[in-house]
Amino acid sequence: MDLKIRVTLTCNNMLRGWRGIMGKCTSICTGLLFAFTCAAQEPAGERGIQDLKKLSLDELFNQEVTVVSRRAENLSRSPSAVQVITGEEIKRSGATTLPEALRLASNLQVAQVNSHDFAISARGFNQPGGLSDKLLVMIDGRTIYTPLFAGVFWDAQNVLLEDIDRVEVISGPGASLWGANAVNGVINIISKSAADTQGGYVSVEAGSFVQDTAAFRFGGKLGTNLYFRIYGQRLDQNGALDSNGREATNAWDMTQGGFRLDWLPQQADTITFQGDVYSGTEQALPSNTTLNGENLVSRWTHTFSNESEFTVQGYIDRTWRRLPGIFAEDLKTYDLDFQYRLSVGERQTWLFGGGYRLMDDEVSNFPSGALAFLPATYDMQLASGFFQDEISLVPDLLKLTLGTKLEHNDFSGIEIQPSIRLAYMPTKRQTVWLAVSRSVRSPSRIDRDYHIPGTAPYIIDGGPNFRAEKAIAYELGYRFEPVHRLSTSISTFFNHYNDIRSVELSDPATGIFQIENGLRGQSWGVELSGRYQATDWWRLNAGYTFLKERIWQKPGHVDLSSGKGEANDPPHQFTIQSIMNLPSDFQLDLTGRYVDRLPSPNVPSYITFDARLAWEFRKHLELSVVGQNLWGSHPEFGPAGTRYEVPRSVFGKVTWRF
Amino acid sequence: MEILRSLFLKSMRRRGAVRLMLGAWVAGGLAFWGTKSHAQNGVSREYQLKAVFLLNFARFTEWPSSAFENPHAPLVIATLGKNPFNDALEDVVRGETVNGRPIAVAHYSSLESIEKAHILFICESESGQIEKLINAFSGKPILAVSDLENFAVRGGMVRFITKNNKIGLRVNLGTLKASQLTMSSKLLRSAELVGTLD
């Protein structure tokens, strides 16, 4: 992500000369901290009747009647803070990349760092350099966070937005099911089945920021109950602006293709194969960053009866990136998971499973570089198991969910992540829920193996004693659908964090610093969201999030940035999306947001909105014009002077479906 | 804008986060108790889905032109017996047309008026008089649909079956053809077929 920029800064700091060892260390360590801050499957949520009408026949046949809790559950009854972004909402927002689409979830903090990098977090802890390490993100069951820094390289996740069925965004811990890293949230990106993407799709975009982008997809049937699709897309985007309003050297291009195969040999079985290949270039000085990768996922779900179901999934993922002069990383992940759902008696549903993951991470450190990951190559293994019991205490009224995940990682050993959730459903349209969960952010390579400079003697000498960061979360929420057309949700939370990462002087004699767990923190907040179908042709979605965070040092710890390196989030943010179907097949859509000031480094608050006007000709041909950032360019992240602004822009799009 | 923002935030800060949360909860609680009673009348998801299926039957079935009085006459989706859909059917068809025809919803309590219907959903309350019903509409261009057991096998046309927690269809092709109705293969390919086409 922003690793490169921050690291460059660090180098600059080093070159500026030695003004006393402490001063230098401070600046480098601040650099490091900024570098830190840099460098489910759920059945479809309960859709409103208007949404059900839009489903294809195949989708309709796949809707669950009464949604039995699998990995998550029926949205309106789920005892957690879930928000769902539908594929249609993404299309109508005019978003061109996945991170832009995630702005539709008001329970996420999304900030664009430059043309290709985003800082994305839930419930805070978006670190000032653009990395966020307390969020678990999955694309069709494939975990995409990197063990390098326990965050996501968003620039390598260029999925075809047209084929996304929905994105489920859970703010708050999901660790008891999903495991480490699901401390503050889980994002599940779920693509449509190949059976639902039959036929062709071609789109071409051209504009002032999104330069020339083209995508195609074709889906067909290979035999009885065997469906496939293939897709490809190319994105070409200008660089974001520097503080003088000139285009900076961070333009981005990305080419990605892939396939999906869904076989339903009989009603009880679903077998899926899918894969992607991608390659991209990001302009940078003195030389460009390059990245590429490929992945292959296979999944088999077998339903024995209404009472039991078995899923097994395996995937291989390779991702590679090279930041010349800084580092290169080649990560290969091999993962195998299974889960079993079983109704036990009248009142209980068990869900249990296990998994094994091997992450073969090969970093190439550049000689005399500014930083190094040592050892350069690390094979990490992760073994996990989980069990959840959902108990209907009073049928249709009171439901208790108990669960825990046990996970073993190479850095910190066994981690236990239990949760208890209680849901009270006084009517079919109301759920009051409360939950207490413990979750951990297990150590990543940036906590353990990070060294500055790239060769000895080191000023920052890794974090040999770094343990997992822990969080206890208390949540209380209420979901209410007063009428068919309106659904609302309020979630409140209080989180207590311990053992948050800090940088400490480990040996005053030599002036060597190490990465430790010297901080504690608290956060609390309120998330409000509502969806309102005002008329048959007009829908409004809105969300507001209030967030307060406090981080302080444990006794005997200092932390070079006094805790300011771990979180930088807006206290208030507000989003609204308006979707209108106008007469004569016109569509007019607006998406607006207000994001409050970020405290440190200071980023001013901003308001902006995107607008889309489209005209559809018999569902086949669609012409649209999208204006993005119409309020004007503004910075969203990073310290003044070195940060970028995404400009006001406009693009036209032609879409053909056949 | 900036002034508005600072006023808004100032008042918020003065009250403080805790009071904001409390306030939100009090408001939520009030809404909760105030609406507890009237929110009961929702319809189950099962019948929401079935209502959408009925709309799709209208979209994917062809009626003989004799089934309509004129080219602009509405297509009528009706229930017979104790209506389990509540308002869901009305919600589903609102604003919808099929081949330029508007769609109307009717609820019948007796057999007399069913001939006006194009799609007739026979409710559970009628389980006692299935044979009589099937005789009454046999040969007429009425798509008879029901949840009732053995409905399709006994000469009804479409039965909703719930299997693996999903809604499936059992379709009797024989009676469908006898009633001069043609159902699109898009629907039939996902349905379980009984009876023969001969």
Q: Concatenated DSSP letters for A104-136?
A: T-TTEEEEE-SSS-EEEEESS---TTS---SEE
Q: Considering only alpha carbons, which residue of chain B is nearest residue A76?
A: B45
- Location of structure tokens 């330069």: A211
DSSP class of residue B97? E
Q: Delimit the domains of chain A by residue range.
A: 3-201+260-569
- Would the CB atoms of A605 and B163 count as touching at under 8 Å? no
Query: Which pLDDT does position A48 carry in this prediction?
Result: 67
Query: Which pLDDT does position A223 carry in this prediction?
Result: 85
Rounded Cα distance between A437 and A419, Å, is 4
* Helix/strand/coil for B114: helix
Give the closest of A50, A66, A306 to B45, CB-based. Answer: A66
What's the pTM value of the predicted model, to 2 decimals? 0.74
My answer on whether B113 and B184 are in the same domain is: yes
CA distances from A151 to A134, A166, A296, A304 (A): 7, 21, 21, 37
Rounded Cα distance between A316 and A294, Å, is 8
Using alpha carbons only, give the angle A197, A258, A210 rounded to the nearest 5 degrees: 90
Which of the listed CATH numbers 1.10.3470, 1.20.120, 2.40.50, 2.40.170 matches domain A3-201+260-569? 2.40.170
DSSP collapsed to 3 states, A246-278: CECCCCEEEEEEEEEEEECCCCCEEEEEEEEEE
Rounded Cα distance between A277 and A258, Å, is 6
Give the closest of B1, B5, B52 to A52, CB-based. Answer: B52
- Would the CB atoms of B167 and A53 count as touching at under 8 Å? no
Strand-pair category, B119-122 with B143-146 = parallel
Label residue B27 exposed, middle or buried (CB < 10 Å: 0-12, 13-18, 19+). exposed
Count CB neighbours of A554 within 10 A. 16
My answer on whether B24 and B55 are in the same domain is: no
Amino acid at A244: N
Torsion on CA atoms A424, A426, A432, A436, rounded to nearest 10: -10
- Cα A385 to the center of its chain, rounded Å: 23
Is A340 or B192 the better-scoring residue by pLDDT? A340
Give the closest of A62, A524, A607 to B17, CB-based. Answer: A524
Residue B112: pLDDT band by 50, 70, 90 thresholds? confident
My answer on whether B101 and B138 are in the same domain is: yes
- Would the CB atoms of A607 and B42 count as touching at under 8 Å? no
My answer on whether B33 and B49 are in the same domain is: no
Chain A to chain B, count of Cβ pairs less than 8 Å apart? 114
- Would the CB atoms of A427 and B39 count as touching at under 8 Å? yes
CB A74 within 8 A of CB A67: yes
Residue ranges, chain A, pLDDT below 50: 1-47, 66-73
My answer on whether B154 and B97 are in the same domain is: yes
My answer on whether B14 and B106 are in the same domain is: no
CB A485 within 8 A of CB A531: no
Give the closest of B21, B32, B164 to A430, CB-based. Answer: B32
Rounded Cα distance between A213 and A228, Å, is 24
Q: Considering only alpha carbons, which residue of chain B is nearest residue A485?
A: B91
Among B26, B41, B56, residue at a domain's last position: B41
Query: Which pLDDT does position A470 carry in this prediction?
Result: 95
Q: Where are the beta strands (DSSP E) in A324-376?
A: 327-344, 348-365, 372-373
Q: Which two tokens stand for residue A78?
A: 């789920």
Closest-CA residue to A248 (of A122, A115, A362, A357): A115
Q: Is the dihedral of CA A488, A494, A499, A504 positive or negative?
A: positive
Contact of B25 with chain A, judged by CB distance below 8 Å, is answered with yes
My answer on whether B14 and B77 are in the same domain is: no
B5, B21, B171, B188: best to mutate for the A interface, most A CBs within 10 A: B21
For A629-650, give one letter per residue: b (16+ CB within 10 A) or e: beeebbbbbbbeebbbbbbbbe
Rounded Cα distance between A532 and A530, Å, is 7
Q: Considering only alpha carbons, which residue of chain A is nearest residue B48?
A: A49
pLDDT tens across B114-135, in order?
888 999 999 888 888 888 888 8
Answer yes or no: is the ipTM higher than 0.95.
no
Query: Which pLDDT does position A130 carry in this prediction?
Result: 67
Q: Reply yes or no: is the peptide bond before residue A426 cis, omega within 30 of 0.
A: no
Rounded Cα distance between A150 and A412, Å, is 14
My answer on whether B135 and B114 are in the same domain is: yes
Residues of A in contact with B24 (CB under 8 A): 490, 492, 526, 528
- C-alpha distance from A109 to closest chain B C-alpha (Å): 19
My answer on whether B18 and B58 are in the same domain is: no
Specify the number of domains making up chain B: 2
Contact of A478 with chain B, judged by CB distance below 8 Å, is answered with yes
A53, A493, A574, A631: best to mutate for the B interface, most B CBs within 10 A: A53
Q: Considering only alpha carbons, which residue of chain B is nearest residue A426?
A: B36
pLDDT tens across A79-128, in order?
888 888 989 999 999 999 999 999 999 999 999 999 999 999 999 999 87
My answer on whether B116 and B66 are in the same domain is: yes
Give the closest of A478, A480, A572 to B9, CB-based. Answer: A572
My answer on whether B60 and B12 are in the same domain is: no
- Would the CB atoms of A478 and B32 count as touching at under 8 Å? yes
- Location of structure tokens 């311990």: A498
My answer on whether B30 and B118 are in the same domain is: no
Q: Is the dihedral of CA A564, A565, A570, A571 positive or negative?
A: negative
Query: Which pLDDT does position A61 carry in this prediction?
Result: 79
Query: Which pLDDT does position A639 carry in this prediction?
Result: 87
Tell me the residue range of the domain where B144 lies. 45-194
Residues of B in contact with A66 (CB under 8 A): 44-46, 165
Using alpha carbons only, give the angle A629, A5, A562 rounded to the nearest 5 degrees: 95
pLDDT tens across B81-102, in order?
888 888 888 888 888 888 888 8
Rounded Cα distance between A322 and A4, Å, is 10
Q: Reply yes or no: is the peptide bond before residue A286 cis, omega within 30 of 0.
A: yes
* Helix/strand/coil for B9: helix
Contact of B1 with chain A, judged by CB distance below 8 Å, is answered with yes
Contacts with A117 (C-beta within 8 Å, 6 or more apart), sequence order: A1, A2, A130, A154, A155
DSSP collapsed to 3 states, A548-606: EEEEEECCCCCCCCCCCCCCCCCCEEEEEEEEEEECCCEEEEEEEEEECCECCCCECCE
Query: Which pLDDT does position B43 carry in this prediction?
Result: 62
CA distances from A447 to A9, A167, A480 (A): 20, 30, 42
CB A401 within 8 A of CB A79: yes
- Domain holding B150: CATH number? 3.40.50.2300
